[in-house]
Amino acid sequence: MDRIVIRGGAALSGRLPISGAKNAALTLLPCALLTDQPLTLGNLPRLADVDGFGHLLNGMGVSTATAGTSPDAFGRTITLDARRISSTTAPYDFVRKMRASILVLGPLIARMGEATVSLPGGCAIGNRPIDLHLKALEQLGAEIEITAGYVKATAPDGGLRGGRITFPIVSVGATENALMAASLASGETVIDNAAREPEIVDLCRCLVAMGSEIEGIGTERLVVHGQPRLGGADYKVMPDRIEAGSYACAAAITGGELELVGADIDDMGAILAALSETGLDVAATADGIRVAANGRLRPLTLSTAPYPAFPTDMQAQFMAMLALADGASVLTETIFENRYMHVPELSRMGADIQVHGRTAVVRGVDKLVGADVMATDLRASMSLVLAGLAAEGETRVHRVYHLDRGYERLEEKLSAVGAQIEREADG
Ligand code: UD1
């Protein structure tokens, strides 16, 4: 297994390209199952999770053809063809490694009348149940049975029918499954307390391009007019706001300046507002967003919550950055119950962090010191990379596969803007 080795201290500077959004890609790929026509997705990030999702779909009989993009280019275009679906099962091995596999459930039951998907089980950042996904599909007439670790969903005769779905809490994945299923259900579906994340908007736009009719896009009430058939489309994945936010933190923590090329300022309100509050200069440019450090970082009080509030997927990266701020910050995690696993690793690098339940108090220190560190999830890994970029000496981040799930060619992007970072084979 590889590790990332970083010699800290270099202020980053230059232009850094932002890839297509992982979380948008993972909900756009299963849309291919909704139609017998080809779906072409452009700007798909080259990530382990995107490959994994492709393999899951291949196992269902979906063909995937990658267009001739050069291996040096970021992103790629894939045409998916689900003319014939040979299996409606998402096996344990896929779902265990990639929770987003659950997103085949809605499209499969809507098009094929049945789906069998392994239960995802626990994961590093908490229990993460799928009850809301299942209840939403039941509202559209699905019958759900759970046996031997699998969810078996069956549509009534005549297929799914429109219904009313009111989510008790906001769920990105459950909203996505509901939207995909409702797009092929007969009649109208009203989804209340829907997630409003930009990735949901991206999904809605793709579904509309495929022939679905959706009102209220970007709001908490979505009305879907289901269609008997959906067609193919040619759709480009939105830029990754979490990747862009992570690299903005890299500029901040190293006292540098970056232009995040391709980032969309409109999707990043809460992230950029928090960065400005720490003292970073943030401005839109013709090509993206420019962020520039401006003296020592100021501390923050932040709470994660569904969009448009501050995202849980940025909490770990902000914690690394605030470990070097001029004073005490208070971070509260309201989405996942176990998302502070980076804290002991950051502490080993000299950070002063105390966790009390869902709240972490981060007292800024003058310096961090490089160390061997190990991460348990994707965003936690990035927080350790950020800490390493600013730390004195060498940091070795182990378990790089987490980073490969969500950051396209991280060490290449960072070294191009002045970081001393490389990948080594773990001995
Ligand atoms: C998605 C993102 C993930 C992000 C999260 C929150 C993808 C592939 N992943 O995950 O990066 O951190 O949104 O922005 O897009 N819940 C239930 N029952 C359910 C579903 C969810 O109780 O059936 C709970 C979860 O445990 C969590 C909360 O709802 O506490 C929000 O989770 P959700 O929005 O569903 O996250 P994901 O879609 O899994």
Confidence at residue 46, expressed as pLDDT on a 0 to 100 scale: 94
For residue 120, the model assigns a pLDDT of 84
Q: What token pair was written down for 118?
A: 């392994």
Candidate of 335, 358, 379, 407 to mutate for ligand 1, largest count of ligand atoms within 8 Å of Cβ: 335
Which tens digit of pLDDT belongs to each residue from 126-162? 667 899 999 999 999 999 999 998 999 999 999 999 9
Question: Computed from CA positions of residues 43, 339, 136, 194, in that sequence, does the dihedral angle turn out positive or negative?
Answer: negative
pLDDT (0 to 100) of residue 248: 98
Ligand 1, atom 29, residue with closest C-alpha: 171
Average pLDDT over residues 376-384: 94
Q: Which residue's CA is minimally distant from atom 37 of ligand 1?
A: 173
Confidence of residue 365 (pLDDT cuts 50, 70, 90): very high
- In percent, the amount of the chain with pLDDT more than 70 equals 97
Sheet hosting strand 150-154, strand order edge to edge: 89-90, 114-118, 150-154, 143-147
- In this structure, the residue with its CA closest to atom 7 of ligand 1 is 23
Q: What is the mean pLDDT of residues 173-198?
A: 98
Return d(Cα 403, Cα 399) in angstroms, integer: 8
Output the pLDDT for position 128: 76
Specify the ligand 1 atom closest to the Cα of 176.
Answer: 38
Q: Give the pLDDT confidence of 17-70 residue by residue, as tens digits.
A: 999 999 999 999 999 999 999 999 999 999 999 999 999 999 999 999 998 667
**Among 36-40, 97-101, 419-423, which stretch is predicted with the lowest mean pLDDT?**
97-101
Q: pLDDT category, 426, cuts 50, 70, 90?
A: low
Q: At what angle do helices 172-183 and 105-112 cross, to 10 degrees?
A: 20
Protein residue whose Cα sits closest to atom 39 of ligand 1: 173
Q: Are 285 and 291 in contact (CB under 8 A)?
A: no
Per-residue CA distances from 412 to 77, 260, 337 (Å)? 21, 15, 33
Q: How far is the CA of 99 from the centre of ligand 1 (A)?
A: 10
Rounded to 10°, the helix 378-390/315-322 angle is 20
The residues, ordered by sequence, that sit 6+ positions from 302 with a Cβ below 8 Å of its Cβ are: 274, 310, 315, 318, 329, 330, 331, 332
Q: φ, ψ for residue 262 (rounded to 5)?
A: 95, -10
Positive/negative CA dihedral, 89, 128, 197, 291 = negative
Residue 366, pLDDT above cutoff 70: yes
Centroid of ligand 1 to alpha carbon of 320 (angstroms): 23
3-state secondary structure of 90: strand
Quote the CA–CA distance of 175 and 222 in Å, as a whole number.
10
List the one residue out of 255, 343, 242 whose CA is nearest residue 294: 255
Give the rounded percent of residues in the chain with a pLDDT score beyond 90. Answer: 90
Pairing of strands 2-7, 420-425: antiparallel
User: Cis omega before residue 30 (within 30°)?
Assistant: no
Structure tokens at 238: 């939105």
Out of 77-91, 97-111, 121-135, 384-398, pick the least confident: 121-135
Ligand 1: residues with CB < 6 A are 23, 26, 100, 126, 128-133, 169, 171-174, 311-313, 335-336
Q: Would you please indicate which residues are annotated as catalytic (active-site) residues?
A: 123
Separation CA 318–CA 335 (nearest Å): 16
pLDDT at 375: 83
- What tokens does 248 get? 């903005």
Looking at the DSSP bridge assignments, the partners of residue 303 are: 332
Contact 356, 421 (CB under 8 A): no
- Local confidence band at 124 (pLDDT 50, 70, 90 cut-offs): low
Give 169 Cα–ligand 1 centroid separation in angstroms: 10
How far apart (Å, rounded) are the C-alpha atoms in residues 352 and 219? 39
As a whole number of angstroms, the distance between CA 189 and CA 208 comes to 15
Collapse the DSSP code of 313 into the 3-class scheme (helix H, G, I; strand E, B; otherwise coil) and give the result. helix
The CA dihedral of 268, 273, 275, 278, to the nearest 10 degrees, is -170
**How many CB atoms lie under 10 A from the CB of residue 367?**
13
DSSP state of 285: -
Spatial contact of 413 and 79, defined as CB atoms under 8 Å apart: no
State CA 125 to chain mean position distance.
14
Whether 122 shows a pLDDT value over 60: the answer reads no
Residue 376 to residue 112: CA distance in whole angstroms = 36
Query: How high does pLDDT run on average in the chain?
Result: 95
Distance 392 CA to ligand 1 centre (A): 36
Top pLDDT among 122 and 282 is at 282
